[in-house]
């Protein structure tokens, strides 16, 4: 591919796209900034007009990922409609769908070691996205008797951990972790068991 140096029309986005491709192929620590530049068809020197280093590039990929994730979560939550329970379950499914459709973003967000505190834009984007799950948990928790009600942050953290575990173990082709059940079914039944334990859905008969 011919080098385009400093004249690349949209260098920043091209570099993020290259970063996402390399993350999917090699993981977040398996490539250099020079490789990202080469993948984008520009010289390494051109990269530093936009990013101080590889971690800054990955942080931008994570930022964009959280923006997409937040939009998907808000769409799934739909203002708590048609019910607190259905909206809560929908956010869990949205988590799994995001990981399947945007694997490079997912890894940049959750597996790269990049802190959401790295810059204000990344922090704001992550806070908005993860706040949707907490809002859904807060709404649903109001249906639990006060003496058995976990804090909403704990409630949402449990579902996040369950969703993340299903993604990591069964939805991303991890070696040696095959399941006879589809990941979506594993997540749905796991959340169901958890919610039954809190009395939010009736027990199986």
Structural domains of the chain, count: 2
202, part of any domain: no
Q: For 136-147, how does the pLDDT look when each residue is reduced to its tens digit (9 = 90+)?
A: 988 888 888 888
Q: Give a yes or no: residue 177 inside a domain.
A: yes
Q: Are residues 142 and 41 in the same domain?
A: no
User: How many alpha carbons lie under 13 Å from residue 85 in its C-beta half-sphere?
Assistant: 13
Domain shared by 33 and 113, yes or no? no
Alpha-carbon span 137 to 28, nearest angstrom: 31
Query: Per the domain annotation, does 24 fall within a domain?
Result: yes
Last residue of a domain, one of 30, 51, 72: 51
pLDDT per residue as tens digits for the range 121-180:
999 999 999 999 889 988 888 888 888 888 888 888 888 888 888 888 877 665 556 667
Whether residue 137 sits in one domain with residue 42: no
pTM, to two decimals = 0.85
Same domain, yes or no: 104 and 19: no
Measured at the CA of 81, the angle between CA 75 and CA 84, to 5 degrees, comes to 110
In a domain, 205, yes or no: no
CB 16 within 8 A of CB 54: no
Same domain, 144 and 68: yes
Reference 12, options 68, 64, 69; nearest CA is 64
**Span 85-119, pLDDT tens digits:** 888 889 988 988 999 899 999 999 999 999 999 99
């Amino acid at each position: 591919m011919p080098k385009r140096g400093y004249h690349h029309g949209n260098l920043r986005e091209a570099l993020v796209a290259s970063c996402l491709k390399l993350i999917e192929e090699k993981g977040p620590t398996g490539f250099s900034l020079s490789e990202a530049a080469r993948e984008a068809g520009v010289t390494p020197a051109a990269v530093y007009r936009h990013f101080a280093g590889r971690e800054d590039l990955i942080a931008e990929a994570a930022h964009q990922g959280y923006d997409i994730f937040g939009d998907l979560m808000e769409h799934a939550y739909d203002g708590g409609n048609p019910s607190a329970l259905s909206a809560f379950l929908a956010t869990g499914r949205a988590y799994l769908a995001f990981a399947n459709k945007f694997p490079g973003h997912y890894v940049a967000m959750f597996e790269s070691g990049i802190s959401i505190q790295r810059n204000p834009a990344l922090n704001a984007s992550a806070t908005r996205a993860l706040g949707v799950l907490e809002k859904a948990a807060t709404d649903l928790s109001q249906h639990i008797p006060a003496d058995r009600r976990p804090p909403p942050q704990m409630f949402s953290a449990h579902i996040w951990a369950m969703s993340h575990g299903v993604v990591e173990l069964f939805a991303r082709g991890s070696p040696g972790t095959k399941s006879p059940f589809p990941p979506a079914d594993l997540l749905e039944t796991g959340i169901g068991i958890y919610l039954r334990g809190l009395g939010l859905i009736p027990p199986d008969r």
